Amino acid sequence: MVNCSEGDCLALRPRFQPPPLTKDSAEWKCLDSQVPPEHVARRIVAAIERLDLTPLLASYSGRGSLAVPPKQMLAVVLIEKHRKRQSPGDWYIDLKENVVLRWAGLGIRPSRSVCYEFRDRLGKHLEQWNKDVLCQAKAVGMTDGTDGAIDGSSIAACASRQRLLNQEQLNSRIEKLTARCDQSQPTEQNEKPPAWMAATADGRKAQLNRFEQAVEALQPRLDANARRMPSLRLPVKRVVISPSDPEAALGPDKFKVFRPLYNALFVSDMNSPLILSYEVFDHGQDTALLEPMLRRTRDFVGPQFHRVVGDSGFVTGTNLAHCDAAGVELIGPWKENDYTKRKQKKQEKFVKDKFLWLETDHAYQCPAGQRLERMGSERRQRAGDQEETLERFGCRAATCAACPLRSQCTDSRGGRQLRRSEHEPLIEAHRAKMNTPEAKATQKRRGQTAERGFADLKEHRNLRRITGRGIACARTDVGLCVLTRNLLTLHDHLTTESPSAAAAP
CB of 404 to ligand SF4, least distance (A): 8
CB of 334 to ligand SF4, least distance (A): 23
Q: Which of 322, 416 has the CB closer to ligand SF4?
A: 416
- Rounded CA gap, 32 and 114, in Å? 25
Q: Which residue type, as a one-letter code, is found at position 484?
A: T
Contacts (CB under 6 A) with ligand SF4, residues 119-158: none
Site track for ligand SF4 across 314-353, x = CB under 6 A: ----------------------------------------
Minimum CB separation from ligand SF4 for residue 396, in Å?
8
CB-nearer residue toward ligand SF4: 2 or 398: 398
180 counts as binding ligand SF4 under rule CB under 6 A: no
Q: For ligand SF4, which is the closer residue by CB, 263 or 410?
A: 410
- Distance in Å, CB of 289 to ligand SF4, minimum: 38
Cβ-based nearer residue to ligand SF4, 386 or 410: 410
Closest approach of ligand SF4 to the CB of residue 346, in Å:
18
Q: Which of 87, 98, 153, 370 binds ligand SF4 (CB under 6 A)?
A: 370
Q: Which of residues 347-366 bind ligand SF4 (CB under 6 A)?
A: 366
Report the C-alpha dihedral over residues 414, 418, 421, 425, rounded to 10 degrees.
-150
Closest residue by Cα to residue 148 from 329, 333, 335: 329
**CA dihedral (438, 430, 340, 399) positive or negative:** negative
Residue 138: CB partners within 8 Å, gap ≥ 6?
Answer: 144, 145, 301, 302
- When the beta carbons of 221 and 349 are compared against ligand SF4, the nearer one is 349
Min CB(462)–ligand SF4 separation in Å: 55
Nearer to ligand SF4, 400 or 480 (CB): 400
- Angle CA 79–52–110, to nearest 5: 45
| DSSP class per residue in 58-102 | HT--S-SSPBPPHHHHHHHHHHHHHTT--SHHHHHHHHHH-HHHH
In whole angstroms, give the CA distance from residue 483 to residue 468.
19
Q: How crowded is residue 116: how many other Cβ atoms within 10 Å of its Cβ?
A: 19
Contact predicate 157/260, CB 8 Å: yes
Q: What's at 261, amino acid-wise?
A: L
In whole angstroms, the minimum distance from the beta carbon of 335 to ligand SF4 comes to 22
Binding-site size, ligand SF4 (CB under 6 A) = 14
Using CB under 6 A as the binding rule, the residues of this chain from 384 to 443 that contact ligand SF4 are 395, 399-400, 403, 405-406, 409-410, 415-416
Which residue number, 129 or 364, has a Cβ lying nearer to ligand SF4? Answer: 364
Q: For residues 165 and 372, which CB has a smaller minimum distance to ligand SF4 in the complex? A: 372
Beta carbon of residue 355, minimum distance to ligand SF4 (angstroms, whole number): 8
The total of other beta-carbon atoms located within 10 Å of residue 337's CB is 10
Q: Give dist(CA 456, CA 222) in Å, integer.
A: 37
- Closest distance between ligand SF4 and the C-beta of residue 352, in Å? 11
Exposed, middle or buried, 181 (CB in 10 Å: 0-12/13-18/19+)? middle
Tell me how far, at minimum, the Cβ of 165 lies from ligand SF4, in Å. 52
User: How far is residue 111 from each of residues 90, 108, 204, measured CA to CA in Å?
Assistant: 12, 10, 25
Nearest distance in Å: CB 435, ligand SF4: 25
Closer residue to ligand SF4 (CB): 45 or 409: 409
Give the residue from 132, 128, 131, 130 showing the smallest Cα distance to 55: 128
In the complex with ligand SF4, which residue's Cβ is closer, 155 or 400? 400
Quote the distance between the C-alpha of residue 21 and its chain's center.
39
Question: Which is closer to ligand SF4, CB of 368 or CB of 390?
Answer: 368
What CA–CA distance (Å, rounded) separates 42 from 78? 11
- Measured at the alpha carbon of residue 477, what is the angle toward residues 472 and 483, in degrees to the nearest 5? 115
Residues at the site binding ligand SF4, with contacts judged by CB under 6 A: 366-368, 370, 395, 399-400, 403, 405-406, 409-410, 415-416
